[in-house]
Structure 1
Amino acid sequence: MKKWSGIAILFVLVMSVLAACGATGKDGNEKSGSSDTKTLKIATSADYPPFEYVDTAVSDEIIGFDIDLATMIAKELGYELEIEDMDFNGLIPALQAKSIDFVIAGMDGNNEERKKVIDFSEPYFTATNLVITMKDKNIASADDLNGKTIGAQTASVQEKGAKSLEEQYGYTVESRDRVPDLFQEIRSGHLDAIVVADVVANGYIEANPDLASFELPEEHKLGLSIAFQKDSALTAEFDRVLKELQDQGEVDKLVVKWFSN
């Protein structure tokens, strides 16, 4: 009897082990269904329509050109995305801390200081900086900015561009964390003008006929790129798929979707 009891116990143990193996993958990690999809954590600053923003009248979801592009690339590579919203000036520190995998936030990839601490993809979009004012301010060129206060988003290429011309044109630069705050402050009169990328500014200008604009002097063209942790293997993967999507015309389709209206 003891012999048969021992065999029965051994049989139960074997079946338990087999059941456990069926609940885990080869690496021992639990699986939900048969999906092998990996997740990447990304960060953006969702105050920059049409690149990334929240249409609160519809939902709390972050949408925009950048989000569609990142989702498209990630899908081709077999990734799902977990998106986090944060202030623009916190994006690079988050990459350096390795708390996120990549950033897509209308960020200029030609910034040499940034390249020392993070990596960039090839450019996916080119934009121009505009100076935005209220029409009744009668500010039509950089020469009219003398003695004025100019706003730009904190840690952005617009802030850097505005500051590079500060002494030449005799204005003062003040920074704000979020783009909507800049537009509110030219309306309130706290700022005389602001510097914003053209594709972002165009939507505000079309909706508000009391706004005027002109290009930032010494034209600052922005080559917008995706940012990664330094020496990340993702950079090459994303560059490969980005080029394929550009060659196939898929990126152009997103441009039409988000910038043609």
Structure 2
Amino acid sequence: MSQTQQITNVLIVGATGSVGRLTVQAARRNGLHPRALVRDVQRATLLLPGVEVVPGDLENPTSLRRAVEGADAIVLTHGSGGDPRPDARAHIDYGGVRNILQSLGSARPRVALMTSIYATRTDVPGANPWKRRSERLLRVSGLPYTIVRPGWFDHAGPTQRRLVLEQGGTLDGGIAREQIAEALIRSLLTDSALGKTFELIATEGSQQSNWSELFGRLKADEGNSLDGALDPNDLPVGSEPADLRQDLDAVRSRLREAR
């Protein structure tokens, strides 16, 4: 992938969530202008004073078009946690990414997607394939991207600040939410993060400051692959439901049209 483009305006999806709010702060700290995509503008204005707020619903693609206009980058921190619907992961974790991508038209923003350290795990109770499916949509979109799979939120002590970035789906552990937010924003600003997918936790020690080196140690995703570098080959697209295969084709078609 080519080098990172100039980034100023960043759309934060899931901006009123626990990681989203910290991502807004991290964007500001790194000299960026954050815009918050929210369903409840009044609530968001109270939670994010001084931040540009734009209404939109991840389940309504039409409502997203104004939000994505002019965005140099998009950070996706949304999740279905707390939604009682049995199919919430399909509608939010996966469907939200699909709808954002479909709303872009010919725009090519840089994208940072937060999924889960268990995105490729089938041996963990409660793990599900919807976040992995959302990753696949982003990879086939042709957009410049980084996919961050954080460990357990805040399951790290105050002296556990040393970041561990690995691939292959076997890593486990916790990390502070503000570290996740910083990693998402730094991935937008660092050339060596382009086209990479990785798990992220924190262990004992001080946090590193050289982000280029941290990202640079990772293997890039293969250009024509649906999955991340070193991901297990245990979710063949041919066995996926027809509507999910159609979503992949639709995102690929958008890429061809954008060219």
Structures share fold, TM-score greater than 0.5: no
Highest relative contact order (Cα 8 Å, sep 6+), 1 or 2? 1
TM-score, normalised by the number of residues in structure 2: 0.28
Larger % of helix: which?
1
Larger % of strand: which?
1
